[in-house]
Amino acid sequence: MGHSEKASKFVANSERMHWHDKALWFVREKRDLAAHQLDEWEELRRVASEIKSHTMDRLDYYLEEFEKNAKQKGLHIHWARDAREHNEIVLNLLLAHGAKRVVKSKSMLTEECHLNPFLEKNNIEIVDTDLGERIVQLRREAPSHIVLPAIHLKKEEVGKTFEEFLNTQKDNCDPTYLTREARKHLREKFLTADASITGVNFAIAQTGGVVVCTNEGNADIGTSLPKLHIASMGIEKIIPRLEDLSIFTRLLARSATGQPITTYTSHFHAPIEGGELHIIIVDNGRSDILSNSDFKESLHCIRCGACLNTCPVYRRSGGYSYGYIIPGPIGSTLGASRDLQANKTLPFACTLCASCSNVCPSKIGLHNQLYKHRQNVVKAGLLGAKKRAILKVTAWVMKHPLLFDFMGLVVRKIVPILPRSIVYSKANVWGRNRELPKFPKKSFKELYKERIK
Amino acid sequence: MSSKEAILNRIKKNRPSSTIDLPNTDILHTKYRDKDKKFAMTLKSVGGKAIWLEDNKSVDEFIAENYRDLDIIVSTYSTHNIDTPHLLENVDLAVIKGEFAVAENGAVWIKNPKNRHRALYFLATRLLIIVDKNSICDTMHEAYKLIDFSRAGYGVFISGPSKTADIEQALVIGAHGAIEVCVLFV
């Protein structure tokens, strides 16, 4: 099932679609407000983009630098080619430490590696500790947004889930009440955990440490109690210098939620007393993207979610319509790079409005990438027969100016007098929820010619 | 071939050959005429509060006056004889030394190499962060010049109380960490 088929399920509930759209637009507006408060906003984006480009050009050097400096500080470094190897490393570390209960804070990488089901199969209890992640974990769902995992749910649904799993009061869906109950429930999980797993926002080559940003404090509390901390990072999370964080910490939270900074920005350059900090550097297909000049910039992503919040398609179709771990514009390009066949409809889940590229803090040309992926879909012969036929006919007509003028004339004359049942027949998918504009008497070309006479 | 070699070889083979210089991060940026005011306003907007200690008062007096009803108060100076961080579970107030504050985002940099348990910052219900009143900088550009990780250690920026908006975008203060954060300038 492609994006549009899955999206049609979401848009079938029009009230919910508009609610989702509005909730995300609210976040986008907060982002604008925060960005406009800084005169240097565009400069920050330029520098961020240059730091990322520079780093990708010397990625092997910076990764080795990072490893060397991290080891010097007593941290342990592991390398994983793919998801399977990553999961094995995690499991072996947990087994070696006799860890049975693990708390995890948000990491899209561990989602990508399907770590949770793997650990559960090996009899390890793994608890997602970000509130939104915990909600979707209890519901056996995936996050529908990379920063706001439960944005697709209404508070009544969260209330029902908590009633079932946390024994909360019946029909009480007050967000403060539910959050307090989750706090109690997760406190107990933190205090009894044997190990913690976190993602990584930034890994600093120069100092050999990693930085994790959260608002809830779940990564921070989770890593400060059990002796074992495992941090999983994609190879692209590297930044060269500590001072580069002055750029990225200014951009990240403002782009994500309009906050000036996340509540907690933890800099890990040591484990807790008597503990161990293990960092797993994961490739899992990323190095392939590096070789493609059209798409390598997608590795500049700092996972702020701004492109999702601004995307008119994402806002109205929801995260699950994409069918890829990461939804929205950035997910569409990453998914298409990873497996074009499986994700062939994602580059078309886009109006090419370019809003994503305009809000991206590291200036990824997201809409350009999606446009290029579309061409690759066509070249690979993966386009549906109907679309292919329409495009062929359109291209042929457009190559013949006289025919094009004639057809325009015919359409302008005939469509207005046709009965509604024909114009809005089943074939007119576009017209299902929309009215055609009034047809003008003359074409643009005719009007233009009259003007210059 | 080890996974490390395999990954690095792939990167070397695939990475772009163009080389862009590492840019200067110290760009022209916002400065605040009144850093105290900007800090206090920003911290308030993220749910915390900033207070300047009156000249004739001590921190102890401030705590006695403002946190009268609390049972368990632990400071970063008193964690050395606590053997496991789990014992800090029920701390009502953590009194923490902060190195400096950042006006643009209401954050305070906390490092305290002598503090035995970083868990104190996150387990306590309330934080009182003590910062020198002359140590407020404008933005993160100045902030990172003051931070050093040449040696192993842990440091964190904390900007206000723990929060979440994961249920219908409704902001709730006090997710996992502190429910109340006060920055006290002395």
Q: Which residues in chain A are contacts of B30 at CB distance < 8 A? A: 38-40
Gap from A3 CA to chain B (nearest CA, Å) = 25
B147 interfaces chain A, CB cutoff of 8 Å: yes
Report residue B153: phi and psi, to 5°. 165, 180
| Dist. CA B76–CA B144, nearest whole Å | 23
Q: Which CATH superfamily is domain A3-9+298-379 in?
A: Alpha-helical ferredoxin (1.10.1060.10)
**Dist CA A91 CA A241 (whole Å):** 31
Q: Residue range A188-204: average pLDDT?
A: 98
**Residue B112: which region, alpha, beta or left (left: phi > 0; alpha: psi -120 to 50)?**
left
Instruction: Render pLDDT for A389-435 as a digit per residue (tens, 0 to 9).
Output: 988 999 999 999 999 999 999 999 998 899 988 889 888 888 888 88
Which pLDDT belongs to residue A429? 81
Confidence class for position B77, pLDDT limits 50, 70, 90: confident
Q: Which of B60, B124, B4 is nearest to A85 (CA)?
A: B4
Residue B19 has a pLDDT of: 79
Within a domain: B21: no
pLDDT level of residue A381 (50, 70, 90 thresholds): very high
In a domain, B28, yes or no: no
**CB-CB contact of A274 with A227 (8 Å):** yes
Classify residue B58: in a domain, yes or no: yes
Q: Judged by CB atoms within 8 Å, which residues 141-160 of A form the interface with B?
A: 148-151, 153-155, 158
| Mean pLDDT, range A291-295, rounded to an integer | 94
**B123-137 pLDDT tens trace:** 999 999 999 999 999
User: Which of A179, A264, A293 is facing B167, going by the closest CB pair?
Assistant: A179
Q: How many domains does one find in chain B?
A: 1
**According to DSSP H, which parts of chain B are helical?**
3-14, 35-45, 59-66, 119-123, 140-145
Task: Find the farthest-apart pair of alpha carbons in chain B and give their distance in angstroms, rounded.
Answer: 68
pLDDT, tens digit (0-9, with 9 covering 90-100), for A347-377: 999 999 999 999 999 999 999 999 999 999 9
Q: Which residues of B touch A235 (CB under 8 A)?
A: 7, 11
Contact A374, A31 (CB under 8 A): no
What stretch of H or E contains B102? strand B100-102
> Does B43 fall in a domain?
yes
Distance from CA of A394 to the nearest CA of B (A): 37
Mean pLDDT of chain A: 96
- Average confidence (pLDDT) over A230-250: 98
d(CA B82, CA B70): 20
Q: By CA distance, what is A77's nearest residue in B? A: B4
Determine the distance in angstroms separating the CA of A176 from the nearest CA of chain B, rounded to an integer. 6
CATH no. of A38-284: 3.40.50.10420
Q: Which of A139, A128, A141 lies closest to A193 in space, CA to CA?
A: A128
Tell if the CB–CB gap between A217 and B23 is shorter than 8 Å. no
Helix extents (H) in A195-244? 218-223
B3 assigned to some structural domain: no
How big is the A-B interface in CB pairs under 8 Å? 261
pTM of the model: 0.94
Q: How far is A382 from chain B (nearest CA, A)?
A: 26
Of B4, B29, B89, the CB nearest to A40: B29
Contact B155 A267 (CB under 8 A): yes
pLDDT tens digits, A11-65: 999 999 999 999 999 999 999 999 999 999 999 999 999 999 999 999 999 999 9
Quick check: A263 and B176 CB within 8 A? no
Give the per-residue pLDDT at A144: 97
Q: What is the mean pLDDT of residues A248-275?
A: 98
* Mean predicted confidence (pLDDT) in A155-179: 97
A111 neighbors A103 (Cβ within 8 angstroms): no
Domain hosting residue B133, numbered range: 34-185
- Contact call for A267 and B149, based on CB within 8 A: yes
Count Cβ atoms within 10 A of the Cβ of residue A139 and give its class: 0-12 exposed, 13-18 middle, 19 or more buried.
middle
- Dist. CA B126–CA A47, nearest whole Å: 37
Q: Which of A76, A261, A295 to mutate to test the interface with B (most CBs of B within 10 A)?
A: A261
* ipTM value: 0.97
CA distance A215 to A131: 10
Cβ of A263 within 8 Å of Cβ of B159? The answer is: yes
Q: Domain for residue B68, yes or no?
A: yes
Closest Cα of chain A to B166: distance in Å? 5
B14 lies in a domain? no
- Give the separation between CA A215 and CA B159, rounded to whole angstroms: 9
For residue B10, is it within any domain?
A: no
pLDDT of A384 reads 85
The CATH number for B128's domain is 3.40.50.10420
Closest-CA distance, B147 to chain A, in angstroms, reads 9
* Domain assignments of chain A as residue spans, ordered by start: 3-9+298-379, 38-284, 403-452
